[in-house]
Amino acid sequence: MKILKYFFFILLIVLIGAAIYFATKDGSFNVSATKTIDAPAAVIYDNVKDFKNWSAWGPWMDENADMEIDYAEKTEGEGASYSWKSEEMGDGAMKTTKVIPNKEIEQEIVFNTPLGDSDSDVFWLFEDTETPGQTQVTWGMKGEHSFMEKVFMSFQEEDFEITLKQMFEAGLQNLAVAVKEEMEQFSINVDGITNYSGTYYLYNTTAAKQSEIGDKMGPMFEQIVSFMETNNLRMAGKPFTIINQIDEGNATVIFSAAIPVRERIITPEGSPVVAGYLDNSTSVKTTLRGNYDNLPKAYEKAQEYLEENDLQPNPNANMFEVYVTDPDEVPNPAQWVTEIYMPIVVAQDPNR
- How far apart CA 319 and CA 323 sit, in angstroms, is 14
Give the chain's domains with CATH numbers.
24-183 (3.30.530.20), 187-343 (3.20.80.10)
- How far apart CA 317 and CA 42 sit, in angstroms, is 39
pLDDT at 337: 98
Could you report the per-residue pLDDT of 291-306, keeping only the tens digit for each? 999 999 999 999 999 9
pLDDT at 162: 83
- How far apart CA 184 and CA 41 sit, in angstroms, is 16
pLDDT at 7: 38
209 φψ region: left (φ > 0), alpha (ψ -120 to 50), beta (else): beta
Alpha helices in 31-146, H assignment, sequence order? 41-48
Give the residue-averaged pLDDT of 106-124. Answer: 81
Is 66 or 62 the better-scoring residue by pLDDT? 66
Give the residue-averaged pLDDT of 250-271. Answer: 92
Could you report the per-residue pLDDT of 142-194, keeping only the tens digit for each? 877 554 454 444 444 556 678 889 999 999 999 999 999 999 999 999 999 99
Give the residue-averaged pLDDT of 258-275. Answer: 94
Could you report the per-residue pLDDT of 212-259, keeping only the tens digit for each? 888 899 999 999 999 999 999 999 999 999 999 988 888 899 999 999
- How far apart CA 99 and CA 106 sit, in angstroms, is 6
pLDDT at 69: 87
Nearest to 258 by CA among 318, 211, 301: 318
- Cα angle, residue 95 at apex, residues 92 and 96 outer, rounded to 5°: 150
Q: What is the pTM of this model?
A: 0.82
- pLDDT category, 122, cuts 50, 70, 90? very high
